[in-house]
Amino acid sequence: MTLLSLLLLAGSIRPTAADVPYRQPQLAAAHGLVAMTFGAGSSIYYASSTDAGRTFAPQVKVADSGALALGRHRGPRVVILKDSILISAVVAEKVATGQHAHGLPDGGNLTVWRSTDRGRTWQRAGVVNDVAAAPREGLHAMAAAPDGSVFAVWLDQRTPGMKLYGARSKDGGVTWSKNVEVYRSPDGAICSCCHPSLGFDGKRIWVMWRNVVDGFRDLYASYSDDGVHFTPANKQGDGAWKINACPMDGGGFVLNNGKVTSAWRRESDVYLAEPGRPEKLLGPGKDVAITRTNRGAYLAWTKGSSIVAYSPDVPEPQVLAAGGGFVTLLALPGGGGVLAAWESQGSIETRHLR
């Protein structure tokens, strides 16, 4: 049996304007809802499903900004709480200019929008960072804990040298704690253009990022039980990648019984690191996504111009889509399989995997 035989349903969310493509989808599921957010130009959008991602209601515009951090794993993030939905993104009034601006917001801030009517309407809830423009690189993650609190992490430039900062909200994203330094590299800066990953194991907060130590740029993980104090960083995988450049690729991880399984790119290949096992080479590619069901880990990544996927029942990666990029994966509640979403020719495509 191949993964291709396990593709159940396919869907497409098409842009309203052909010259403003939909990009960088992200997914969440809780309380009977599957939520998707994505960006288009300087706008943030939301789409929802009440049938486990089989169909999505028409997309809703969350906000317009002068400039939205979008591309290379930037873009909005979404979490679902019992009585609200939150979307976060790094935005500013105008686009930055200059040699290394790359279309990023000029002095971008990590901003949150909140909906209390299951995504029909949205209100700006406020800014997470307590130093203006500190998250201006636009790379961040957000996750919700079982108790309803929310944590966010981002690449931070409030002082020279890129660092990893975080903050917690205990009131549904209305207010945020004093920002805490999650990690600073002994080399002075972590990798400056690779997105962090974030997840909860009960109340424990886990974070992963691409570090820079002695010129090697590998993935490291750490955790905190109080959202303030984080454990020493733990390198992922066996090998190392010495490179004097940023690969703009941060990988991902899943949690199982307090242990981390991570997937990431080293040089031109994708690797999987599972607890107590040697790292596993999955094949050439980049921009890997990972999720987990009770059957094991599912992964998908970009290989050339196509997207390939790896499931617990299939020993070799199989083609998921002939074209597209920046795939994201979501384990659906109740054993509903896995939902994949990615950007392709201006639209957001979805597939179900079993």
In the chain, the number of structural domains is: 1
**Listed residue (290, 274, 279) closest to 239, CA to CA:** 279
4 located within any domain:
no
Whether residue 2 has pLDDT greater than 50: no
The answer to whether 37 and 62 have CB atoms below 8 angstroms apart is yes
**In this structure, is residue 328 part of a structural domain?**
no
Question: Residue 164 — pLDDT band, cuts 50, 70, 90?
Answer: very high
- Cβ–Cβ under 8 Å, residues 127 and 152: no
CB-CB contact of 292 with 261 (8 Å): yes
pLDDT band, very low/low/confident/very high, at 98 (cuts 50, 70, 90): confident
Q: Tell me the pLDDT of the chain averaged across its residues.
A: 94
| DSSP β-bridge partners for residue 206 | 199, 223
For residues 297-312, one letter each, b for 16 or more C-beta atoms within 10 angstroms of the residue's C-beta and e for the rest, the string is: bbbbbbbeeebbbbbe
Neighbours of 318 (CB within 10 A): 16
pLDDT over 90 for what percent of the chain?
A: 90
Structure tokens at 280: 């596993």
Question: Which pLDDT score is estimated for 9?
Answer: 61
Highest mean pLDDT among 8-22, 59-73, 90-104: 59-73
In a domain, 141, yes or no: yes
CATH for 251? 2.120.10.10
Residue 255 lies in a domain: yes
DSSP at 259: E
Residue 198 in domain: yes
Please give the pLDDT value at position 246.
93
Cα gap 324→289, rounded to integer Å: 14
- Asked whether residue 323 is assigned to any structural domain, the reply reads no
Domain contains 351: no
Q: What is the mean pLDDT of residues 171-176?
A: 96
Q: Using the 8-state DSSP alphabet, how is residue 29 labeled?
A: E
Structure confidence at residue 17 (pLDDT): 84
For 243-269, what is the mean pLDDT? 96
Strands 296-303 and 286-293: antiparallel
Using pLDDT thresholds of 50, 70 and 90, give the confidence band for residue 4. Answer: very low
Q: Dump pLDDT digits (tens) for 52-90.
A: 999 999 999 999 999 999 999 999 999 999 999 999 999
Q: What is the mean pLDDT of residues 258-280?
A: 96
Averaged pLDDT, 115-142: 97
| Virtual torsion, Cα 56, 348, 143, 155, nearest 10 deg | -160
The answer to whether position 319 is within a domain reads no
Domain housing 67: 19-279
